Each structure stands twice: as C-alpha cells, then as structure tokens.
Chains A and B, each alone.
Chain A
Amino acid sequence: MLAAALTLDAPTIFLSQDGESFIDWLSNSVLLGAIVVGLIVWFARSATKNLSVVPGRKQNFFEAIVQGLYDLIESVVGTHMVARVFSLLATLFIFIIVSNWFGLVPGVGSIGWGHATPNGFDVTAPLLRPATADLNGTLAMATVFMCFWLYWSISEVGLKNFLNHIFGVKGGLTGLMALVLVPVFLFVGVIEVVSMAFRPVSLSLRLFGNIFAGETLLSTMIGLGKQLGVPEWISYIMSITVPVPFYFLELLVGLLQATVFMLLCAVYIQLSTSHDEEEGH
C-alpha cells in the first residue's frame, strides 16, 4: 500500500455509489479524532480511576504531564487564572499532540479507498487522517478556545474594562491630550479587534499548515524512489529508509506545534486578563 499525498479537504468516509457523501460530518479526520478522544479518555480514566497520594505507574506518568503543563500554564497566565483555564489548555495540548503523533502511525493516511495505477495502488481517500491535518479540526479547536477566551476575559476584568483595554486611551493620559488621542486609540482598537478576529485563523492555519506539510513531506519521502524512477527494489528500500529522519522531525514538529498552540492561547488569555491586575496594583 502506498502513502498518498493528502488533499487539502478531509474527505467523507462513506460515499454513496454515485460518489455523493451521505454522512457529511463523518470525515476521516473526525473518525481519527474520535479514536484519539477514545484513547485519551481511556488512558486518563485508567490513570485516575484509583487515585492515591502515592501514585502508581500510570498515575505517575499522567501526573507528570499534568504537573508540567500546570506549571507551564501558570507561569504564563498567572496564579489567579490557572485554575480556570488549565483544563482547556491542557486538553488542547494533549489532543493536538496525540493527533499529531497518531498521524505518524503506519497505516494512517495510507490505508483507504483509491485506485490502481501503473506505480501501484494510489489511495485517494484515506480512512484515517489526523484532526490537526484538517482545517475543520484546527479551526474547531481555535474557535472553541476563542469563545472561552472571550468569556474568561469579560468575566475576569468586566465588560467595561475589556472594552477600555481595547479602545481606551493608554499611557495614563488625561485632559486635553487624552481627548485629542481618543480617535487614534479608537482606530488602534479597531485594528486590535481585527487582530483578535484573526487569532483563530492564524492559530488554526499555523497548526494545519505545519501538520499537513509534515504529512505531505512524509508521503513524498515514502514515494521518492518511485518519483525518481529507480528500480523497484531500491524504491522499496528507499520508501523505508528515507522517511526515518523525517519521522523524528515530525515527532519534534508535533510536540512543538502542540506547545506553540497552547502557549499562544495562554498568552492571549494573559494579555486580556492581566490589564485589570496591573491597574489594581
């Protein structure tokens, strides 16, 4: 079975005989997402089922992850926000990293529907595809985060302070100077709103771009022998050996992208919730 170059859209798994999909929402990335969710929930439950102060192996491993993430998130958002935001940010990190690494499991992206070609079987609709290699998945995560971000920001600093933080005159200016600068800061506020509106887009496109590129890179490396037209047996060896360094690269990219996504989310929260704190002091 050959690895196929991914298409930009994640195809629906079930297609009718005339090629029309009849369960629109069930794409290969949703299916893998569901498997990933199942795995995460199964592991988390088995690690936390019998919690004790002196942990077992699974609990210890899970605790190490949670503790590491908790400390990292706390260092960015601060002590006052960490309890509220930790669960979402940790879920984002875990879901993204497991999805990213799941894409490296042999068979993911290379087993599915396709057609025979002179160079072998070409998979055009893989059965499984990482949720992070589908813009629907990354956009969904970014959108959910932005909804929570908006709620947390307003509930933490209040609507007035939140709007003031965006449109208000900064730098402690008062009097005539402040009045003169009001239009400028209103304009800056509009730019800030546009910037905020683009946050889910940038978050989702960055993650999707990196993972999609990684998947494509691996597919290309696996099929490099055939592309170069080398003999069959060399092509076979190349399809195994050439991608190995890129697998390690993708392991690193998977970790980095999960960390970047989570940290950016944490920074956004910190930016919108620390304003009140500064004023309070």
Chain B
Amino acid sequence: MADPSTTRRARARRTLIFAIFLVVLALLYTGYKAFGQAIDDTQRDWWVVGSFLPRSDDKNMPPVLDILAEFGEAPREGGTTIGRLTLDGALFTLREAAVGFAAGTIIGLAIAVVLLQSRRAERGVLPYVIASQTVPLIAIAPIVVVWGRTGLEFLPWEWQDWMSVSVIATYLTFFPVAVNGLRGLQSPSPEATELMQSYAASRRQVLRRLQLPASLPFLFPALRIAATASVVGAIVGEISAGVRGGLGRLILDFAGKYITGPERLYVAIIGACITGLVAVGVVAAAERLLLTRRGIVAQ
C-alpha cells in the first residue's frame, strides 16, 4: 500500500518527466529546423543527406517561440486571441466528443451484453460490427448532418448540428468498447460461473455481480482508445460536415491561411492534442478510482 507522500512524490516526478519530454521535443524540433535550413543554405556540403531529407523554413516549421507567441495574438486588432479561439473551439469539440463517447460506451456495452447471450449471436453479428469500422468517416459525416437537419423533426428537442458530430464520434467509439467489453464479460472462470449457478443466481445477477465487474480491466484500455477516437471523430466530423464552432472548423480556417500565418495551425494542432489528452486523462482518473480498490494497485 502506497502512503500519500510517496504518491505525491511519484506524481511530482511524472510531471517533471512530462515537462522534460516537452522541452526535448521543442529542442528536437528546433534542431531539425536548423538542420533542414542548413541543407538548403550549404547544399553542396550536405549533398548526400540533402538529397533525401526534407528541407525546412519558417513556413513549414515556424520557430517554437513564434508558435507560443501566437497564442496571444489576435487576428483582428483588439479582437479575440488565437489562444482563446482555440480554447473555445476545444471546449466545443470536447462537448461533442463527450456526448459521443458516452453514447458510444452505452451502445458498445449493450452490443457486448447482447453478443454475450449466445455464441451464435456472437459469430453472426461480430463480423458486421468489425465491418462497420471500414466505412470511411468522411463519407458518412454529410449524410448524418443532412439527416439531422431534415429527418429528425419528431424529436421533442431541436436537433443541432453539433449533435450530428456527436453521432459521428459515437460511430468511432462504440467499436473498441463492444469488442473489448465482450472479451471482458467472457473473462470469468468456469468455476466462478458455476458457483453463481449454485447460488441460483439469475442471468441478470450474474451480469451485475460477476461479468460486469470482471470486464472492467478489459474495458478501460478500450475506453482510453475510445476517448481519443471520440475527439478525432469529432474533429473529422466537424470538418467533413462543415459544422462551425469547434476545433475542426478552426483547423480548416487556419489551414486556409497557412501561407500568411503558419503558426496558427500549429496552435490549433497543439489545442487538439491537449483536448485528446484531457479526454484520456478523465478516463485514466476514473480507472484509478475504480480499480485501485482491488488490492492490486493499477498503475
């Protein structure tokens, strides 16, 4: 059992390692940038490597400090800063992703529970679950949005475009949850199952007391994947469905103005990364909360 002070020290160490990692990343970036520029400047001396390594300039690799400074810049004099725009976009996208993640988790678990009931169902349906992921997201995104705008009038609330993006995120999320969830639900030993039978436990009791808790160690890795997938799904969904307000739109806008201000796109990319990390962080925190109480301390 770890006492609080060692846990705190471990956390401080992890933060430090992460900070060092960021600094190393920035140094590598700056180092290659200088190298890539050097190839261009002194092509003859570097001709061997220079012939197959990409060059760099301030357009494709803006200086790190310029990127950081861009967070505080405003596109229009006195207007909202890029950093602020990115934060707003990230929050908008995070909401879509969270709704999609929640819906995807519920649907994925429901599929796993249904497939658990019979081998035949598993064998019959699982291939289609897998095949569902080969449909290109970019193709279904506009369909979902148009459907949301015209086909869902019967709903008691007004359907908004961001909800369509959540549907797209759901589409990416349910899959890992369903597949790993099923494996987890099937994980209890035959003895444990027979024991439950000997207590005359109902199917529902077996699910709730045995199969669901046993599935958690299998489920959490899937939820981590699902968390990042939901953010990626939301961003791609926004772009291909033309939904405004989120990171996807921001990336599209900044990409269009790349030639005049490449730093902005980098800011948006960093924003997207942090959004993904936040999503995974929430899942990891939930995992620690639920699994460390099992005597085996999950790291």
A binds B: no
